[in-house]
Structure 1
């Protein structure tokens, strides 16, 4: 076990992360009353330039006027390379800072991007008297972001999660895919001919590398890895395969672009009863060992290390949060 330990970050449910266009107020109330763990109002991609200011005003009004029971509220601001970003941050925090849990920052490319945002947020929070520090969700959407992801993940104590943006990543990397978050029929391996002369084609996963890098950087820094959207809402089977792949890799949730995807995400990313039971056994064994004064504790013939204890604590806490929200 390394002498360097992973920092303990704030635990939140982020199984489902519902996107709501900031320029479409008719969707706001339904999203606020829905079952998503996190609702994020989008001021970036879904809002045309001539509607940026009005969308910002509408989102601020929603933050102040609507109730968001048992969920966290985030806003995706415009990129740091745009003339809209600074007004997004200042007006959101000055006018609705106490109602805002998270800021989702798009196309993070390097640690300096996060530092700059953190500095601005800190100054506005202090000047506005915001009571609780607002967190940052990092949206990785470019090869530059993947290249610098380790520094990005460690750039600020505000950072809480890393979210993958498949659409912009595909565009920036030149990836050819059939749909956002979906597979590509061209990314396959052709096996050697069998005894019958036929050659079997095996599809590969074009997203495996960036997803694996995101999980590694997130976990090493105590952040939550969240998978990006699956755009074809007419293909629930494809969505399920995408979400299960993400869960298998270590993701804790998935972005939803339609309310119909929320319930499935909540169910799929809820800790399994067997995992919760095993985690509780680890914690119980450790508690018993401490009570008896044992210098080392084992369970089922294996030593319990610090990493196992932290993982068990996170699993039990996530299960408790999920049970309180949707028993």
Structure 2
């Protein structure tokens, strides 16, 4: 795995807020609200957004607001702070305005730069444009007497050019002719990407762009960076937001854009290992979660049925019906169920493997057993999963995420202990 270049190994939440609201007595009120967020409502990365979220006529005032609010409240904000400035690959004037905004926010006399971790650059193009943004940041650092590379740079991938540019990062990062090692986040911007690709759908909704999310995750992995998905605009569709995050995590993309504190809470908690384990059953064309009832995992739906007929059983899944003996039934059900381990389960398995490894054993079998209850019929199932070093390292990813959160977000520790219990939290912080 490529070495990470920043303190954070994972970013779950990328939360934007307008820098200046027109027609308000206090144009910085949204910034002040965001700066006061704490615990699970506070993002890992807060992005005072002086581009799309702020009207063009308010952006000069917005840069002033960022400097003022971050100077006042930045020291106490529990996440990182990365303001977004204007930029465009095809517009020198936009790039110059972005440079001026960075100069304003990073001016040491304004008191904010000590709490600013970097800047977010939108609308980048090919790799030469990324270098222009890097050079602008270097000039800001030089102008204000800051160490070269002290300001991180995150980019929003909003064009085909930017998507292709990610292929060049491994060879470009670290060259003495640039400071691209300052790169931190690669963030998808599906709205402008759709516009750049001239893509359409019958309903006018955005295409899902799974390829873009895969490519961004791959580009981040190859260059030691962190990938973040773009905004999920339907803020009331909590289940859809969760499904999007689950699909992203299967691509290695933990982080997602959050538009509201409610989305921040969802995105902060969704990647963490579950509090309790659960069994899932493939019933017809659906996968459903079984209910934990009196020591058995029960299914009461109509997509699957089970009848006990003397010495054998009749199992119906969808339109397929089979007559099975007890052993065949157990094997059939093992193919239909999956177990989602809890944090405690994962820690138990890792500790068991670590103990075996210490004693010189390279692989062990870990048993998982349960009682399934289908149409009132109880069936005992069990399976063994082989754990070796590769399995152990794969299981370490959610634990590393937890450890990263625990180390960098002490404001969330109390909520983590409430979620898992003190004993599990203590073991999870030391395992590995």
User: Are the aligned partners of 1:101 and 1:134 in contact in 2 as well (CA < 8 Å)?
Assistant: yes
2:161 corresponds to which of 144, 160, 169: 144
Query: Which structure has more RCO (C-alpha within 8 Å, separation ≥ 6)?
Result: 1
**1:97-153: CA deviation from partner (whole Å, max 9, x where unpaired):** 222112111022122222222223223324423368121112101111112222247
TM-score using structure 2 length: 0.60
2:245 matched to which residue of 1?
A: 243
1:69 corresponds to which of 70, 74, 77: 77
1:49 matched to which residue of 2?
A: 56
2:87 corresponds to which of 79, 82, 87: 79
Q: In structure 2, do the counterparts of structure 1 residues 167 and 152 end up closer, same or farther at CA, with 3 Å as the change threshold?
A: farther
SS for the counterpart of 1:41 is strand
Q: In structure 2, do the counterparts of structure 1 residues 269 and 19 end up closer, same or farther at CA, with 3 Å as the change threshold?
A: same
Please give the residue correspondences for 1:63-142 in structure 2 after superposition, counting only pairs within 5 Å. Answer: 63-67=70-74, 68-80=76-88, 81=91, 82=94, 83-95=96-108, 96-130=112-146, 133-142=150-159
User: Are the aligned partners of 2:189 and 2:231 in contact in 1 as well (CA < 8 Å)?
Assistant: yes
1:324 corresponds to which of 385, 410, 425: 410
Q: In structure 2, do the counterparts of structure 1 residues 92 and 140 end up closer, same or farther at CA, with 3 Å as the change threshold?
A: same
Q: Please, which runs of 5 or more residues in structure 2 have no aligned partner?
A: 22-27, 174-179, 275-342, 365-386, 417-432
Please give the residue correspondences for 1:1-327 in structure 2 after superposition, counting only pairs within 5 Å. Answer: 6-12=2-8, 13-24=10-21, 25-34=28-37, 35-67=42-74, 68-80=76-88, 81=91, 82=94, 83-95=96-108, 96-130=112-146, 133-152=150-169, 155=173, 156-177=180-201, 206-271=208-273, 273=343, 277=347, 281=351, 284=354, 298-300=362-364, 302-303=388-389, 314-315=400-401, 317-321=403-407, 324-326=410-412, 327=416
Q: In structure 2, do the counterparts of structure 1 residues 73 and 285 end up closer, same or farther at CA, with 3 Å as the change threshold?
A: farther
Shift of 1:29: 1.8
Does 27-36 or 122-131 show the bigger shift? Answer: 122-131
Q: Please, which runs of 5 or more residues in structure 1 have no aligned partner?
A: 185-205
2:158 and 2:194 map into 1 onto residues whose CA distance is 8
Bigger-Rg structure (1/2): 2
User: Are the aligned partners of 2:106 and 2:144 in contact in 1 as well (CA < 8 Å)?
Assistant: yes
TM-score using structure 1 length: 0.78
Q: In structure 2, do the counterparts of structure 1 residues 254 and 143 end up closer, same or farther at CA, with 3 Å as the change threshold?
A: same
Q: In structure 2, do the counterparts of structure 1 residues 177 and 29 end up closer, same or farther at CA, with 3 Å as the change threshold?
A: farther
RMSD of aligned Cα (Å)? 3.3
